[in-house]
Amino acid sequence: MLISFFRRGLSIHKHFRCRRGTNNCVMKPGDKLFCKYCRFKKCKAVGMVLRKGNIDFSNNSPTHSNINDELQTKDDRTNLSSSPNIVPFNSDIRVEDNRVFFDIKGIKININETFLSTIPSLNNYDSYTTCLQRVIKGLKILFTNLNYNNPGDCIFVKEMSLRRIINKWQNFITFSPNFLMVLEEFASLSLKDKWTIFRNFWRFGDIITTLVYKLKIENPTNEALLVCDYKHVVKIKNVEFLDPDLDNRRTKEAFYLMKPTLMLFYEFLYLPMKQSNYDNVEVAYIITQTMFDKLILNETSKECQKVGEDIQKVINNEIHNYYIYNKKLDNYAYRITEMTKLLSMIREYINRQKEIDLISRIMNLIDISFMNNL
């Protein structure tokens, strides 16, 4: 794997020498023999560094500024919008050579304003609601905001557009912070901890909501599908990756890189999810697990870690009672095991996505690194 190569290269790169003596070897997807010197040089050129034992993919450009963690906390209540009309903050997507430019400052400001509140975005309506019940309500509103309530209106197209995929990402990034704020425990966290959780959560959340939506789309042939946005769906078998600002060679090679990972999504995420047929409570349990994942909590404060551990205990007790008293299941260990396997495969899919993005940048195919700069 590329990450393993870079990690090893940090200690032995002084012994690397260009195979051709040009110091600018061309690397192509699928190459088994490559110049280690030029590959390591490309890794450094796209911004790979080793931080605290982990590979970091962030850009060091001054435009990728960090959110100020010491902004004054506001007490204004934030509300979950239930409007189905999606109005993006910025639809100006610009492509220069192979790099996609997209100004996400407006989205960052909106997220920051949402997270500055310490009041949950969902009212209790003068009645007691459990943790998973609040998540279910939040998910319903999130699906409305993402236009995921009308799968019958989806159109099957043959072209996969980069702009549609970016727009789908933008919509989730825009509306998901309010979803996280449905939990009082999350709303009470510090701004820094909220951002840490969100930066790790959004990929998981986007994948899970896309899975749920994809299962609602009528697919008689049971073929592998790719959801470009709320309205456009393509069959991976016959798809063409087209973009007016990118040449055919780059788009074909980029899709060549992506296809195995897209098939992994179909075989190890979509099909198991379809077979298990999880209900709303189970989906809420899965997505709450990702919000307070152990690896994410390790990057947060001690107070946040305590909150996360308490939430995990609460939702595990809640899902136990749900299975015993509502579903009348005496032995539900298999379903919990399948959920755990699903979460593990989602993490594998995310890691592969990150590596594909990095390889694509190194190969000068498509650079969408702005997505990692939240």
Element (H, E) at 107: helix 105-116
250's CB contacts (< 8 A; 6+ apart) are 98, 364, 365, 366
pLDDT score of 57 = 35
Report the CATH number at residue 140. 1.10.565.10
pLDDT at 183 over 50: yes
Please name the residues in contact with 5: beta carbons below 8 A apart, sequence gap of 6 or more.
36, 39, 40, 43
Flag whether pLDDT at 369 surpasses 70.
yes
Q: Is the pLDDT of residue 156 over 70?
A: yes
Domain total for the chain?
2
Judgement on whether residues 252 and 353 belong to the same structural domain of the protein: yes
Nearest 5°: the CA angle 185, 132, 139 is 95
Q: What confidence category does residue 161 fall into, taking pLDDT thresholds of 50, 70 and 90?
A: confident
The average pLDDT across 172-179 equals: 95
Let me know whether 50 and 67 are in one domain: no
What pLDDT does residue 151 have?
A: 92
**Residue 48 pLDDT > 60, yes or no?**
yes
Report CA-CA distances (Å) from 318 to 120, 156, 201, 356. 21, 39, 22, 38
* 325 and 193 fall within a common domain: yes
Token digits of residue 294: 């152990």
Percent of the chain whose pLDDT exceeds 90: 51
Instruction: Say if residue 167 is in the same domain as residue 27.
Output: no
Is residue 94 helix, strand or coil? strand
Mean pLDDT across 266-283: 96
* 34 & 150 share domain: no
Confidence of residue 6 (pLDDT cuts 50, 70, 90): low
- Answer yes or no: do 22 and 74 share one domain: no
Residue 370, pLDDT above cutoff 50 = yes
pLDDT greater than 70 at residue 61:
no
Among candidate residues 242, 262, 234, the one with its CA nearest the CA of residue 356 = 262
Query: Which of 118-132, 264-278, 331-345 shows the lowest per-residue confidence on average (mean pLDDT)?
Result: 118-132
Beta carbons within 8 Å of 86's beta carbon, 6+ residues apart: 145, 146, 147, 171, 230
Say if residue 143 is in the same domain as residue 255: yes
Are 180 and 215 found together in one domain?
yes
Angstrom CA distances, 275 to 26, 154, 267, 270, 348, stand at: 44, 22, 11, 9, 20
Whether 234 shows a pLDDT value over 50: the answer reads: yes
Q: How confident is the model at residue 371 (pLDDT cuts 50, 70, 90)?
A: confident
Which CATH number does the domain housing residue 42 bear? 3.30.50
Write down the pLDDT at residue 207. Answer: 97
pTM: 0.76
| Residue-range definition of the domain harbouring residue 290 | 60-372
CA distance 360 to 257: 8
Nearest to 285 by CA among 139, 176, 88: 139
Q: Please check the confidence at residue 62 and state whether its pLDDT lies above 50.
A: no
Residue 247 has pLDDT above 90, yes or no: no
**What would the 3-class secondary structure string for 112-131 be?**
HHHHHECCCCCCCCCCCCCH
Residue 35 has pLDDT above 70, yes or no: yes
Q: What is the mean pLDDT of the chain?
A: 81
pLDDT confidence bin for 1, thresholds 50/70/90: low
72-114 tens-digit pLDDT: 333 333 345 444 444 444 457 787 777 888 888 888 999 999 9
- Do the beta carbons of residue 198 and residue 107 sit within 8 Å? no
Structure tokens at 134: 């609040």
Which residues 6+ apart lie within 8 Å of 135 measured at CB?
182, 183, 284, 287, 288
**Region 67-74: what's the mean pLDDT?**
31
At 212-231, the pLDDT tens digits run 999 999 887 888 999 999 99
Beta bridge partners of 243: none
In order of 199, 253, 304, 315, the CA distances from 300 in angstroms are 12, 39, 6, 20
What pLDDT, on the 0 to 100 scale, is given for residue 65?
A: 33
Question: Stretch 312-325: mean pLDDT, rounded?
Answer: 96
| Contact status, residue 374 vs residue 198, Cβ threshold 8 Å | yes
Q: Do residues 84 and 2 share a domain?
A: no
As a whole number of angstroms, the distance between CA 171 and CA 48 comes to: 28
Residues 87 and 3 in one domain: no
pLDDT value for 89? 41
Q: In this structure, are 44 and 106 located in the same domain?
A: no
CA angle 10, 65, 209 (to 5 degrees): 85
